[in-house]
Amino acid sequence: SMQDCYFHRPSRVRVDYKQRHVAKAEAAVSDSRELMGVAAAIATTAGISFSAGCLNGLKAAVAGVCALGITAGTYFLASALKKKKYPPKSMETKLRDCPNVLLMAKLFCKTTKQEFWVANYHMPCKFWDNDLMAALAVLAREKVLRVAKKAPVIFAGDFNTTPGSSAYQCFTSNTRPEGIGEFSFQDAPKFPLKSSPFSSALAKGSKDGKEPSLTNFARREFRGKEIEFCDCIDYIFISDHWTVKEISETPDKETTMKEVGSYPTDTQPSDHVPISAVLALA
């Protein structure tokens, strides 16, 4: 039975608004200078075209002003747009651009009265930004464990990160992954993390102690190119209160890629395969 329910956005961190406004003001000044340059170019071109004309050819001169002015303006405006107008986004801003919500429910066993928490999170897909994914993982982990306190926890979801990645390590280890520095945003957790790390139910329940070879498989057409992804990105993380009795079977990666064009199919209604585990409180 449910006792409590909790909604949270792990990525909603505090932002240094003063510095953000300063950056925007500097960008606005830069933009105004670019536009002034475009206007000056058009005005100069117009002046040259007009002086080259004569009273009898006023229409031709005006046409020349318009043609040359537009050409010059287009050139300078295109050059301005190609330039980097804004400074790189801070980690705070990138985190706040990720609106995904974490769900938590506090349950209890009617027989034993034992309380435990179940959490679910669809972590943003920002695989090209290693630091951001690691920060999202740490914030989600710390929030779940902070709310649950010392109660047993099951934390499952689509985490959009593969085994061995920095983000995965942030869920299952307290040490800082290689290539990841200390987080600079306000109230950021510091490595080594002090909370107890999660372990993976699927890895603990498997014969080889590893994650499934795939939980997601998709081939997509993107900008005229075929994009393929086949790997494990879905997990059931558990606190050390649990023992794993049984886990679901997942397809073999090599066989699936040879025999299946792409998920979903008639028998697999999603690009994600279902995963499950039978758990017992230790």
Model confidence pLDDT, tens digit, residues 6-54: 888 999 888 765 555 544 544 454 455 544 554 444 444 444 343 444 4
Residue 277 banded pLDDT, cuts 50, 70, 90: very high
**What pLDDT is stored for residue 171 in this prediction?**
98
The residue whose two tokens read 């397809």 is: 251
Q: Please give the C-alpha separations between residue 151 and each of 72, 114, 148, 156, 249, in angstroms, as whole numbers.
A: 68, 9, 5, 16, 28
Which amino acid is it at 214? L
**What pLDDT is stored for residue 229 in this prediction?**
95
Please state the rounded mean pLDDT for residues 260-270. 93
**What pLDDT is stored for residue 83 in this prediction?**
57
Provide, rounded to the nearest whole percent, the portion of the chain with pLDDT above 90: 61
The residue whose two tokens read 């957790």 is: 189
- Asked if the model's pLDDT at residue 68 lies above 70, the reply is no
pLDDT tens digits, one per residue of 153-208: 999 999 999 999 999 999 999 999 998 988 988 889 999 999 999 999 999 999 99
Please state the rounded mean pLDDT for residues 268-279. 97
Q: Please give the C-alpha separations between residue 77 and each of 34, 41, 80, 162, in angstroms, as whole numbers.
A: 8, 10, 5, 43
Show the CA angle centred on residue 235, arms to residues 232 and 241, nearest 5°. Answer: 150
**What pLDDT is stored for residue 164 in this prediction?**
92
**What pLDDT is stored for residue 235 in this prediction?**
99
Please state the rounded mean pLDDT for residues 207-223. 93
Taking the domains of the chain in order of start, what are their residue ranges? 2-14+90-281, 17-82
Rounded Cα distance between 156 and 105, Å, is 12
Provide, rounded to the nearest whole percent, the portion of the chain with pLDDT above 70: 75
Instruction: Sort 125 into a burial class: Cβ within 10 Å, 0-12 / 13-18 / 19+.
Output: middle
**What pLDDT is stored for residue 210 in this prediction?**
97
Rounded to the nearest integer, the mean pLDDT of the chain is 83
Please state the rounded mean pLDDT for residues 267-275. 95
Rounded Cα distance between 122 and 141, Å, is 13
**What pLDDT is stored for residue 61 in this prediction?**
42
Class of domain 2-14+90-281: alpha beta
**What pLDDT is stored for residue 187 in this prediction?**
86
pLDDT tens digits, one per residue of 77-123: 556 555 556 678 899 999 999 999 999 999 999 889 999 999 999 99
